[in-house]
Amino acid sequence: MTRLAALLAIAACLAGVGSAEAGTSNLLYLTQETDPGALDGNSFFSDQLLANASSIGSTSTPALQRGHGNSATVALESQCPVVSLTCGNVELSQDNSALSSPGTLAPNVASIVITGNGNASILQSGGGNTAHLSLSDTGLGTITQSGSGNQASLTLSGLGNESSVNQTGNQNVANLTVTAGALGAGVHLTQAGGDTYTATIITNSSVTYTHFGP
């Protein structure tokens, strides 16, 4: 059983779960919580490709999915002259750190694609989670994962991107791709802890890789 706890959109067009949005300057706040013990979570899909100055969540109040088996897919077109918390910004948090009966983890999945000048942050707590983040043009992207068996994929294809992937735990996997057009991009990958970790880096730009632990 899935439950939508709270959904608030301040926009010319109401932004809905599982629907596409139009208009401009949409601002969406989202909270979804899975019932205790459930493994079939909520799904959130937001298509902002026709809205050129939208944001989802904020640093202090990110779009939140708490529980197991959640998925979030966001596509955003940003034509913001200056990225701010209300223009061209996506903040998403997923948390499956609390064990479900009988103590199993159901992974959460997040996918964010931003075209144009925009920033995005994905925060995942728990285990077995997957995060995909793709940015083009100037932007700042961050994937932060804590727990075991997480996978992160970061793709940069614009100019001057500054982005990072931070993983803490065991058996985590990180894949970074910086295309030839991303001149001046800087990417930081940090993996802490764990006896098994994998990093695949394809780039023509600056990448800093740091590992702490065995």
Q: Using one digit for the tens of pLDDT, what is the confidence trace for 24-37?
A: 677 888 998 877 66
CA-closest candidate to residue 165, choices 179, 180, 150 = 150
Q: Which residue has the higher pLDDT, 208 or 25?
A: 208
Q: For residues 151 and 132, what is the distance between their CA atoms, to the nearest angstrom?
A: 9
How many Cα atoms sit within 13 Å of 87 on the Cβ side?
Answer: 11
Q: Which residue has the higher pLDDT, 193 or 55?
A: 55
Above pLDDT 90, what percent of the chain?
23
Above pLDDT 70, what percent of the chain?
76
Query: pLDDT at position 65, please?
Result: 93
HEC assignment per residue over 126-195: CCCCEEEEEECCCEEEEEEEECCCCEEEEEECCCCCEEEEEEECCCEEEEEEECCCCCCCEEEEEEECCC
Work out the average pLDDT over 126-154. 89
Q: Using one digit for the tens of pLDDT, what is the confidence trace for 126-136?
A: 888 999 999 88
Q: How confident is the model at residue 212 (pLDDT cuts 50, 70, 90)?
A: confident
CA-closest candidate to residue 55, choices 132, 112, 137 = 112
Average pLDDT, the chain: 78
Query: pLDDT at position 143, please?
Result: 95
Q: Using one digit for the tens of pLDDT, what is the confidence trace for 179-191?
A: 755 555 678 888 8
Query: pLDDT at position 197, please?
Result: 66
φ, ψ for residue 119, nearest 5 deg: -120, 150
**SS3 at position 93:** strand
Work out the average pLDDT over 37-51. 81
Q: How confident is the model at residue 3 (pLDDT cuts 50, 70, 90)?
A: very low
pTM to 2 decimal places: 0.83
Q: Which stretch of 103-107, 132-136, 160-164, 184-188 has the lowest confidence by average pLDDT? A: 184-188
Q: Is residue 160 a contact partner of residue 136, using CB atoms and an 8 Å limit?
A: no
Q: For residues 195 and 186, what is the distance between their CA atoms, to the nearest angstrom?
A: 27
Q: Which residue has the higher pLDDT, 160 or 175?
A: 175
Query: pLDDT at position 195, please?
Result: 60
Q: Using one digit for the tens of pLDDT, what is the confidence trace for 49-101?
A: 877 778 898 888 999 999 888 999 999 888 777 777 778 889 999 998 887 65
